[in-house]
Amino acid sequence: MPALRNAFKYRLADRPLLDTSLFLHLYCPALLNRLSPEDFAAPRLLVLRGSPGSGKSSFLRLFQTESLTTLHSRRALAGDDILAELLRELGVLGESSVRVAGLYIPCDSNLRDVANVDSAGNLRLLNALLDVRITLAYLRSLGELSRLGLLPGINLSLMQFDALTADETPPPLFAQTRTYDELYAECVQIETDFAALLNSFPGDTIPASIRPHARLFSLSFLGALRTQNAPSPFVTPLVLIDDLQDLYEEQRIHLQTELLRRVGIPRWVAVRKHVYELERLLPLEGTKDERDVREIDLDATTAPAFRKFLENVTERRLRQTEPLRQFTTVQDFRDHLKEPDLVVTKERVVEKLSSAITELKQRSGSGLPDDLVPPDQISFDYLVEIERLLILAERKNRRRQQFLLAELEPPEPSDAKTEEAARLFASQRYRFPYYFSFDALCQAANGNVEQFLAIASPYVDKMIFRAELGRAPVLNAGEQEELLRQSADRYYQRIEQGFAHGFNIRQFIDNLGIFCKTVTHRPNAPIAPGVTGFGLTREQLRDALSADGAQEGLRIFRQTLTSAVAGNVLAVRSTKQGQAGSKKLVFYLNRLLCIRFGLPMNYGGWQRLPIENLVKMMRGPVPAEEWGKKWKPEALTLEEAEV
């Protein structure tokens, strides 16, 4: 199988670009731990929801019949395949069989366009088109399984499919018993007639083969097959509906209702979050899976689990990247992302260091200890220590109560967060790399695999270029930071055009980014290592969501916040910080936006902002004087508005 020049540039959902075999080589099986055998056996609805690039479509593609048969054949040849083994544990693959037929149905323009054929009966036409697509996908899956010898003892030409019972009042397609060949031929004819209808002029006659009807019958039809003899007990139909958000709202609501009907087969639906109201996008106090429906949020994963997932993604992509075949593990990739040289000459930093030392003397009221006199060769750790002392001295000066005897005054406490704030301050004061290493790549991905591929791809391009010139494919820390900043700028520039209410989102991000940078870089680092988001109580959100929709400010707030959360521009987490028993929702900036505004990429630092302030930020530029009394402007060591 030919390798790719840069496998990081390919999305697994891009069917025309990746054949099934290459798709399986690139697919990372880490997400399979979110599934259980009941998801394939229980006749319930499974909803996969996530932001763009979270892996919904590739997740469905893995369970298409073509993918499963290819994986089964590959396992027979290779003997050991971790992906196949995981699917065997889930009951999808048997030792010598494929037990699930994945019927992939994209919600493409044809499904949506039936609404323009006959406005009075567009939902009835939608049912008819979906019925024929689902049934035909199942028949084709059986044909593929039979061709590969995975339906032993079954002659498809002689196989019969029983009609649905009369009390269900089925349409003609399911109203009489047919052989496989007869049913296949009729489905092909109906699909052909639908293609002609969708390309006809409005008002043209609907072909006689197309019989619009009130609900989906294909799900009941396939469910009934499971009670028959072969092959249904051995091959479970799994209906995979992709991109539900692309349908019109009326169609989407109707299809959701149909999929919730109790039938005898499992159904999976993938949908982007932007079709949900804000209430559905926020973390719940406690979730429970219903018997008939279960939801998986593909954006909700822990940082360690996501990092492990990205390590697997990286290894699989490197194996298919021809110029970097020498990278056999993710550790090889890590080793070529160099850390900065931690020793600098005094000449490089003398001016800014002198200014920092003068400032430290002013804040502390004394000179430097002997062990902090600047040496000729200055380490970056030394510069960080000066920043740490500056922070502690400023905190001491801001105490409301001062000690009468300075010698009895305890030292200001310092912790890992203060150390990290000092490292950030030193990096920006002396223009030292701060965003580097594989871990920085993982953090900047913001829990989204497509975002990871977008920021890792330029790294790989640069490595390939050097490898082809016969040079070591190494990136120093400065180059890594420059590439990440370029990715952050590209992400920021696409916000306005890439999201609904993009202008308001970009305006909000501009204001929020400057606010976070200003608070983060206050001389005493009050919320170390920095602020990267804002928090609201559930009561504030509830009041805003239940308020009169005619209030323009609250309408802008709801629309902008909903679109930003759905598009992964803001990530939501719940926290119990603050008053006892008071839970809050914190909206954190996408980690790439943290890079753009010079902020740390950790979580935890946030500030409460009144909703009226947030609305102002969404409408236009907000000067610092209007942030509120708590954050009134003050002199800063670094320029607060530098971005």
CA distance 225 to 265: 10
Measure CA 143 to chain center: 36
pTM: 0.88
Q: Is residue 487 part of a domain?
A: yes
Residue 204 belongs to what H/E stretch?
Answer: none
Whether 249 and 146 map to the same domain: the answer is: yes
Q: Is residue 2 part of a domain?
A: no
Reading the block at residue 416, the tokens are: 């890992």
CA distance 306 to 236: 31
DSSP state of 568: T
Residue 574 belongs to what H/E stretch?
Answer: strand 570-575
Instruction: Write out 359-427 in H/E/C secondary structure.
Output: HHHHHHCCCCCHHHCCCCEEEHHHHHHHHHHHHHHHHHHCCCCCCCCHHHCCCCCCCHHHHHHHHHHHH
Q: Which amino acid is at 490?
A: R
Whether 375 and 385 map to the same domain: the answer is: yes
Q: Is residue 107 part of a domain?
A: yes
Q: What is the pLDDT of residue 39?
A: 92
Whether 391 and 535 map to the same domain: the answer is: no
| C-alpha pair distances (Å), 575 with each of 283, 305, 600 | 10, 20, 19
Whether 368 and 305 map to the same domain: the answer is: no
Give the residue ranges of DSSP H helices in 172-212.
180-198
| 3-state helix vs strand vs coil in the chain, percent to 5 | 55, 10, 35
Q: What is the pLDDT of residue 641?
A: 33
Whether 569 and 641 map to the same domain: the answer is: yes
CA distance 256 to 421: 48
* Torsion angles phi and psi, residue 435, rounded to 5: -105, 95
Q: What is the DSSP annotation of 227-264? A: TSSSSTTTSEEEEEEE-GGGS-HHHHHHHHHHHTS--S
Whether 452 and 424 map to the same domain: the answer is: no
Q: Is residue 471 part of a domain?
A: yes
**Is the CB of residue 415 less than 8 Å from the CB of residue 385?**
no
Q: What is the pLDDT of residue 390?
A: 93
DSSP state of 638: S
CA distance 248 to 527: 45
DSSP state of 318: H
Q: Residues near 620 by Cβ (< 8 Å), separated by ≥ 6?
A: 507
CA distance 625 to 606: 19
Whether 201 and 245 map to the same domain: the answer is: yes
Residue owning tokens 């209007």? 626
Neighbouring CB atoms inside 10 A of 465's CB total 12
CA distance 480 to 334: 12
Reading the block at residue 476, the tokens are: 């120093």
Question: Which of the listed residues 402, 429, 456 is the one where a domain comes to its end?
Answer: 429
Question: Which of the listed residues 269, 300, 331 is the one where a domain comes to its end?
Answer: 300
**Is the CB of residue 572 less than 8 Å from the CB of residue 587?**
yes
What are the counts of helices (DSSP H) followed by strands (DSSP E) for the chain?
A: 25, 13
Closest CA to 275 of 296, 247, 295, 294: 247
Q: Residues near 342 by Cβ (< 8 Å), separated by ≥ 6?
A: 379, 380, 381
CA distance 217 to 134: 10
CA distance 391 to 418: 8
Whether 203 and 242 map to the same domain: the answer is: yes
Whether 305 and 453 map to the same domain: the answer is: yes
Q: Is residue 100 part of a domain?
A: yes
End-to-end, the C-alpha distance of the chain in Å comes to 46
Segments forming the whole domain that contains residue 213: 12-300
Q: Is residue 134 part of a domain?
A: yes
CA distance 248 to 256: 12
Stretches where the chain sits below pLDDT 50 are 79-80, 284-288, 404-405, 408, 635-643
**Is the CB of residue 460 less than 8 Å from the CB of residue 321?**
yes
DSSP state of 106: E
| C-alpha pair distances (Å), 145 with each of 69, 148, 152, 186 | 7, 5, 10, 21
Q: For helices 449-468 and 477-493, what crossing angle results, to 10°?
A: 130
Whether 258 and 136 map to the same domain: the answer is: yes
Q: Where does residue 630 fall: left (phi above 0), alpha (psi -120 to 50 degrees), or beta otherwise? A: alpha
CA distance 498 to 494: 6
- Domain total in the chain: 4
CA distance 239 to 267: 5
Q: Which amino acid is at 600?
A: P
DSSP state of 32: G
**Is the CB of residue 217 less than 8 Å from the CB of residue 164?**
yes
Q: Is residue 6 part of a domain?
A: no
Whether 409 and 546 map to the same domain: the answer is: no
* Torsion angles phi and psi, residue 312, rounded to 5: -65, -40
Residues in the chain: 643
Peptide bond just before 171 cis, omega within 30 deg: no
C-alpha gyration radius of the chain: 30
Q: Is residue 519 part of a domain?
A: yes
Q: For helices 82-89 and 65-78, what crossing angle results, to 10°?
A: 120
CB-count exposure of residue 207 (10 Å: 0-12, 13-18, 19+): middle
Instruction: Write out 451-499 in H/E/C secondary structure.
Output: HHHHHHHHHHHHHHHHHHCCCCCCECHHHHHHHHHHHHHHHHHCHHHHC
Q: For helices 416-429 and 380-397, what crossing angle results, to 10°?
A: 110
Q: Which amino acid is at 610?
A: P
Whether 176 and 296 map to the same domain: the answer is: yes
**Hey, CA dihedral for 406, 409, 415, 418, is it positive or negative?**
negative
* Torsion angles phi and psi, residue 228, rounded to 5: -80, 180
Closest CA to 225 of 183, 281, 188: 183
